[in-house]
Every structure is written in structure tokens, then in C-alpha cells.
């Protein structure tokens, strides 16, 4: 019998409280009790897994999933799932965990939003990226087994793991993907690169021809396939160094990577499904832009596939595009890297423009300082002008008032009233001082 909303045992109430505190040991003890149902529902229809996901408790979510928690339970009063609560928490690890456990990304809540749309709505763009880039390992393993009349699988089992890592990466920078290929010697063989590329093309085709068409995933698979194809054209003994340097080489003057821009544009142009809405959007965004201007093809493609809204409030490595880079060139201070290795790799091209960029930065800083000083002087001048215009007006006004109305001779009654008021004021001043003034003294 399915649990009913709000009908919690005392142990189940304790479990919900323990989850909020994040005490894993107490949760283990309670989950061993026969009076605790792993998918029990509170009065709002939330399961323990939903509570753990919403609170951002990574270990607790892992524990509950190990005990058989239903990742797709949809009894919440507003139709929220555990994946939606994970997105609200902003924890990428939990989002990934839910996806690996089989969370359905297409379920909508009471206002018609999916988990990815909810994450985007509340500004959790990293969670959107994880959802958009997730690809179940079992779908890739399908190609490691012979299908139909074929006696050989399309993908050797030994290549499935390294390829899955590349498929699920959220960093689409071509240099980063080449780095991932270089990490595994099994992928460096030309034959292995060609097989991986062919499997990626098959996945792309399947994404476009299935009933629930997935243009985003199809474009990503096609783009990675193009990189694999490019890698296969280089001799394995060079370990792809010439390709990396060509992708990084910048033009004179500003170090803009012309070849990289052209390669990404060409990859998008080669997408085999011309009627795709996503392709048309990409072409409309990129085609009018002159090579070397913003937005770059990489930024447009990244935004379309990962869901990242531009590159606000984040720094990206100039070499590999890794998010969160915080190392700057010590000379020009304009180019950013995620580490010393990336800086050394990029130096061959950056050294040509480093001093030029430094001079440009210093010139901009000097102009900014001059502009700031000019604004300060203008503000000071305006303040003086206001003060000088107010003082004469006040003095003149008082004199004219004095001239217009001469003081009248007070009568006896007026004198008595005036003395009474003066006495009262004197009493008030002595007995009731301003508390703030006293505190200041």
C-alpha cells in the first residue's frame, strides 16, 4: 500500500528532522527501523529524499538512494520531484546523483516547468548545464555489444569509459576536449578516434530521429565528433601538440584565435540536419558577426548547449576554457589561466602581444583616472556654486523682512506673556536635554 500524505510514524518524523540537520549516523539507525518507510510522505507530499535534496545534503541523498528511495516520486502538492528540489538547492553533485539514479528530466510541475527550467528560473545555471550535458552510461554501452547481423561491436568496451567522460563534460572548449583525449592513450590511436567519431554520429542521428527529439544533445555529439575527426588526421606520435597549438595561435595585435573560431564555425555548418531549430538559431547568431568580434562562435555554442547565460560573474581560462580560472599574466594582467601549465602552453602566442596589452591596459587605467578626477572637480564646482547662490539669498531675505516690518512697542500684557514663555523655555532646556546630544558629549 502506497504511503499517504501526512501519515508519518514517530520514527519517520525523526528521520525528516535528522535529514535537515545532516546527521548521517542517526539517519542510518532510523532507516534500519521497520517503522520507517523510505518513500513516506509528509503533509506536503515530500519524501525524505526530497528533503535531503532541498537541503543540499549530498551524503544523505546518497544514503537514501542506496536504501531504495524513489527518485521519480511525484506526489508533491505542486508536482515537484527530487531532481527539481536538487536544482533549487544549487548542488551540482546532487543533480548528477539524481540523474544517475534515473531521474526523469521531462517531468513538469504544476506550472509546467521542468527541472532544468526551474533551475534556470532561479539562476542555478550550473545545474542546467549538468542536466543538458547528462548522457546515461547504459546508452553508450549499447554500442559496445554486437547489434543485428554484425559480429563486432561499433565501440570497443575499453573505449566506453573514456568516451563517456568526454560526452558528459560541461566544458566544450576544443582545447579541453583534446586534453581529455590526450589523457587516455587508448583514444590516441587513429582507429580508436574514428570509431568514437562514428558512434557519436550515430548518437546524434538517434537524438534527431527519436520521438522526443533532442537537438541540444545532437549538436553536442556532432561537435565532439568533429573534434575526434580532426584529431584522427594527426599522427599519434605527435600526441596532438600541433593541433593544440593551432587552436591556441592568436593573430597579431590582440591574440584572437582565428583558427579556433573558424573550426567551431565550420563544425556548426556541417551539422547534417539543416531543418533543426537550434542550428538556425546558431547560424543567425554567428553569421553576421565578423571573425574576431563578439560574440564568438564558442560562446554562442556554449550558451546553446550548456544553458549558461553568457559568462557573467565568472572567469574562464584562456587556454582551455575551464570555469573559475583565477591566475593572471603578471605582465599584462588581462589574460587569465586556470594554472601554470595552461599559461606555459599559451605563452608561445601570448608573448607577441603581452607588452601591447600591458600598454593598452595602462592607457585605459590612466584615462579612467583622469575621467574620475574630472568628474570629482565638476562635482566640487557644482557644490560651490550651489552654496554661493544660497547664502546671499538668505541674508538678503532677512534684511528685507526687517525693513518691511519694524518691531512694535510691546504692551504690558505682551511683556507678561513674553516673560512666561521665556521662563518655560528655560525650564525645558535645563530639565529635558536632547538625549543624543548628551550621549555625544
**What pLDDT shows up at residue 129?**
87
**CA 29, 33, 38, 39 torsion-angle sign:** negative
Residue 294 predicted with pLDDT over 60: yes
Q: What is the pLDDT of residues 276-289, one digit of tens each?
A: 999 999 999 999 99
pLDDT band at residue 427 under the 50/70/90 scheme: very low
Instruction: Give the separation between CA 396 and CA 400, rounded to whole angstroms.
Output: 6
- pTM (two decimals): 0.74
pLDDT band at residue 261 under the 50/70/90 scheme: very high
N- to C-terminal Cα distance for the chain? 75
Q: What is the pLDDT of residues 7-34, one digit of tens each?
A: 899 999 999 999 988 899 999 999 999 9
Give the mean pLDDT of 141-163.
Answer: 93
pLDDT band at residue 391 under the 50/70/90 scheme: low
Cβ(108)–Cβ(76) below 8 Å: no
Q: What is the pLDDT of residues 74-93, one digit of tens each?
A: 999 999 999 999 999 999 99
Burial class, 239, CB count within 10 angstroms (exposed 0-12 / middle 13-18 / buried 19+): middle
Q: How many CB atoms lie within 10 A of CB 197?
A: 20
**What pLDDT shows up at residue 428?**
38
422/81: higher pLDDT = 81
Q: Angle of helix 258-269 relative to helix 174-183, nearest 10 degrees?
A: 90
Mean confidence (pLDDT) of the chain: 86
**What pLDDT shows up at residue 1?**
52
Residue 413 predicted with pLDDT over 60: no
**What pLDDT shows up at residue 418?**
44
Amino acid at each position: 500500500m502506497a504511503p499517504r500524505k501526512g501519515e508519518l510514524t514517530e520514527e519517520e518524523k525523526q528521520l525528516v528532522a535528522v535529514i535537515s540537520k545532516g546527521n548521517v549516523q542517526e539517519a542510518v539507525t532510523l532507516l534500519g527501523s521497520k517503522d520507517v518507510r523510505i518513500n513516506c510522505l509528509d503533509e506536503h507530499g515530500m519524501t525524505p529524499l526530497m528533503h535531503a535534496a532541498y537541503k543540499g545534503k549530498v551524503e544523505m541523498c546518497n544514503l537514501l538512494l542506496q536504501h531504495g528511495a524513489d527518485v521519480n516520486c511525484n506526489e508533491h502538492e505542486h508536482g515537484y520531484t527530487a531532481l527539481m528540489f536538487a536544482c533549487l538547492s544549487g548542488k551540482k553533485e546532487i543533480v548528477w546523483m539524481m540523474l544517475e539514479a534515473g531521474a526523469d528530466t521531462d517531468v513538469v510541475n504544476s506550472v509546467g516547468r521542468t527541472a532544468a527550467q526551474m533551475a534556470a528560473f532561479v539562476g542555478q545555471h550550473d545545474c542546467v548545464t549538468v542536466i543538458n550535458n547528462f548522457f546515461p552510461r547504459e546508452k553508450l554501452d549499447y554500442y559496445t555489444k554486437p547489434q543485428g547481423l554484425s559480429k563486432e561491436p561499433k565501440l570497443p568496451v575499453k573505449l566506453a569509459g573514456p568516451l563517456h567522460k568526454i560526452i558528459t563534460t560541461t566544458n566544450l572548449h576544443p582545447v579541453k576536449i583534446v586534453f581529455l583525449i590526450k589523457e587516455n592513450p587508448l583514444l590516441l590511436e587513429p582507429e580508436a578516434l574514428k570509431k568514437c567519431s562514428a558512434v557519436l554520429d550515430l548518437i546524434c542521428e538517434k537524438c534527431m530521429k527519436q520521438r522526443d527529439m533532442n537537438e541540444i544533445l545532437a549538436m553536442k555529439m556532432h561537435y565532439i565528433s568533429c573534434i575526434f575527426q580532426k584529431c584522427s588526421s594527426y599522427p599519434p606520435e605527435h600526441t596532438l601538440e600541433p593541433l593544440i597549438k593551432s587552436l591556441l595561435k592568436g593573430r597579431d595585435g590582440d591574440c584572437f584565435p582565428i583558427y579556433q573560431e573558424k573550426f567551431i564555425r565550420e563544425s556548426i555548418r556541417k551539422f547534417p540536419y539543416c531543418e533543426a531549430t537550434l542550428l538556425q538559431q546558431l547560424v543567425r547568431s554567428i553569421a553576421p558577426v565578423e571573425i574576431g568580434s563578439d560574440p564568438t562562435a564558442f560562446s554562442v555554442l556554449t550558451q546553446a548547449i550548456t544553458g549558461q547565460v553568457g559568462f557573467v560573474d565568472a572567469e574562464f581560462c584562456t587556454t582551455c576554457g575551464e570555469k573559475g580560472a583565477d591566475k593572471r599574466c603578471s605582465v599584462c594582467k588581462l589574460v587569465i589561466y586556470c594554472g601554470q601549465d595552461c599559461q606555459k602552453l599559451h605563452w608561445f602566442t601570448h608573448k607577441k602581444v603581452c607588452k601591447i596589452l600591458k600598454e593598452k591596459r595602462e592607457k585605459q587605467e590612466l584615462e579612467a583616472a583622469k575621467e574620475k578626477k574630472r568628474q570629482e572637480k565638476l562635482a566640487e564646482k557644482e557644490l560651490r556654486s550651489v552654496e554661493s547662490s544660497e547664502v546671499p539669498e538668505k541674508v538678503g531675505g532677512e534684511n528685507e523682512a526687517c525693513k518691511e516690518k519694524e518691531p512694535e512697542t510691546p504692551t504690558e500684557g505682551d511683556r507678561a506673556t513674553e516673560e512666561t514663555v521665556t521662563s518655560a523655555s528655560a525650564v525645558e532646556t535645563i530639565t529635558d536635554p536632547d538625549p543624543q546630544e548628551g550621549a555625544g558629549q
